[in-house]
Structure 1
């Protein structure tokens, strides 16, 4: 009798464990399937022909694979962009569109601006600015394609990216989204002011910012304003921008990074990794620029001193060694 009770108890427990495992597997699969296909975000102001042209442009790389769509309208802009100081209304037009394709963990954020009928109609925001803003907003591991049927700054596309993540259960922190929008505005203004100066590129600026974020994340969310200032100074020097970035622009970058810290972005375990991957991505896509930045004459002063000291002691050691 006692044996039967034990057997019954064991059987009940086993059935419960199996049921739990099946339920957990089902839940995991459901969550995975929910974000298993790319999402195309379409501006509400597109005409029927523009909408089809936008779909054709954004989904060309899918080779006929499935995707879902969402519409981005003035309300979307108000929700995600106005908290950072934008002045969109629910009646604002939206033309820029995007496709978001989630990728494997650790792959990082990649952004490609696609030409529409042979023309790049994203007039203000660069691919690197999209990447940095996405990291700050909390986006991770995704391929993002952006295009527009008409010349436009590209704000609607990024609002669509935020909306796509929200639709798939990955709601982003509004404080981080606001910091991301401030970041994009700051970097866009600096690039616009310096774009015609010799020795400047948007890639250098965004690489400096991505590397700064990585350093900030390593120090944690208690990184001080003074530490952020030091990080910015070092990154401006490392990216050979010392004689280009003005004091006012440097202050704007420092304040921008302070807002990123205060947004809570540094609390994310993936923030440092995503920022590092964006920096790598920027450098790999602009090797001609960074090969010049990293030449001997462009190394910072401390590096040169260190190399000189090292060479001195090496020469001294070899001289002494020759005496014996």
Structure 2
């Protein structure tokens, strides 16, 4: 018996070293996960899965309303967050360097660019992300599910402070968009990050001057309250352990991906058909007056 143990001991040692590498697979491009709001009905869940084109064996996780309040409660009033978790998403990891590609449906307040900006701050990179709901929602709660899904799929842990700041950034960008426009607000946030990546700031005064300069270059006028809010936000972002070169790279990829969407043949065809319908409608109106 003792001899048998001596023979099997090396074999067991080898297996113990090999098994972890066999059982635990690294995150890889193509890995996919779906998040569903916990309060969706069974019919709504199936409808959203069909809409996403999710495979039958896709991993599904659920996001609760409590989680939404945890990450949004400091920045959005409870009424806007609501009492039900509805927003859902699908995230697919892509090749390194491909950037973030965001698409939304039934999301009324948060734009693709706003999601992308906040996700870059959270450390999310290189993924195709689809955010949806069974009916029109603001979309603020969608970020909670995306970050949760990315942590599981990419097998990483994002610090809680970083998640909080990403949510604050999304909300601040949305509020800015209401006064200066969606594209302007998104580009302002992008440019500030790019400038910090190129020329790191040390003091609050330096950061304030940087934000004012970028806003002026973009032709954007900020109120004192908006400026102070941005200074506060970016002071917190500055103190995160962020790879600013990675941030700059992801922002560049986001711009490319948004440009690709606008230049896609099906998108251009849709725009052309809409313009054709509009022109025919105008001609019909003119005919009435003739």
Give the whole-Å Cα distance in 2 for the aligned partners of 1:219 and 1:67.
43
Identify the residue that residue 224 of structure 1 maps to in structure 2: 203
Aligned with residue 261 of structure 1, among 238, 244, 254: 238
- Between 201-210 and 94-103, report the one with greater CA deviation: 201-210
Identify the residue that residue 108 of structure 2 maps to in structure 1: 123
In the alignment, structure 1 residue 45 sits paired with structure 2 residue 27: no
Identify the residue that residue 236 of structure 1 maps to in structure 2: 215
Residues 257 and 279 of structure 1, relative CA distance in 2, 3 Å threshold: farther
* 1:109 Cα offset (Å): 1.2
* 1:230 Cα offset (Å): 3.1
Identify the residue that residue 179 of structure 2 maps to in structure 1: 193
Q: Secondary structure at the match of 1:50?
A: helix
Identify the residue that residue 228 of structure 2 maps to in structure 1: 251
- Aligned pairs (5 A) from 1:123-202: 123-168=108-153, 169-194=155-180, 201-202=181-182
Give the whole-Å Cα distance in 2 for the aligned partners of 1:286 and 1:246.
32
Give the whole-Å Cα distance in 2 for the aligned partners of 1:206 and 1:164.
24
TM-score, length of structure 2 as denominator length: 0.73
TM-score, length of structure 1 as denominator length: 0.66
Aligned with residue 25 of structure 2, among 23, 30, 34: 30
Contact kept, 8 Å, 1:207 with 1:283, in 2: the verdict is no
Number of matched pairs: 249
Contact kept, 8 Å, 1:112 with 1:145, in 2: the verdict is yes
* 1:158 Cα offset (Å): 1.2
- Higher Cα Rg: structure 1 or 2? 1
In the alignment, structure 1 residue 100 sits paired with structure 2 residue 91: yes
* 1:206 Cα offset (Å): 0.8
Identify the residue that residue 77 of structure 1 maps to in structure 2: 68
Identify the residue that residue 190 of structure 2 maps to in structure 1: 210
- Between 185-194 and 271-280, report the one with greater CA deviation: 271-280
Structure 1 runs not aligned, ≥5 long: 1-14, 115-120, 195-200, 288-324
Identify the residue that residue 59 of structure 2 maps to in structure 1: 68
Residues 182 and 161 of structure 1, relative CA distance in 2, 3 Å threshold: same
* 1:83-114 CA distance string (max 9 Å, x none): 667659xx931111111111111111111112
* 1:162-211 CA distance string (max 9 Å, x none): 111232322211111111111111111111234xxxxxx41222122112
* 1:60-94 CA distance string (max 9 Å, x none): xx6x5852111111233244444667659xx9311
Contact kept, 8 Å, 1:228 with 1:254, in 2: the verdict is yes
RMSD value over aligned CA atoms?
Answer: 3.3
* 1:42 Cα offset (Å): 0.4
Contact kept, 8 Å, 2:76 with 2:171, in 1: the verdict is no
Structure 2 runs not aligned, ≥5 long: 1-9, 264-290
Give the whole-Å Cα distance in 2 for the aligned partners of 1:26 and 1:145.
31
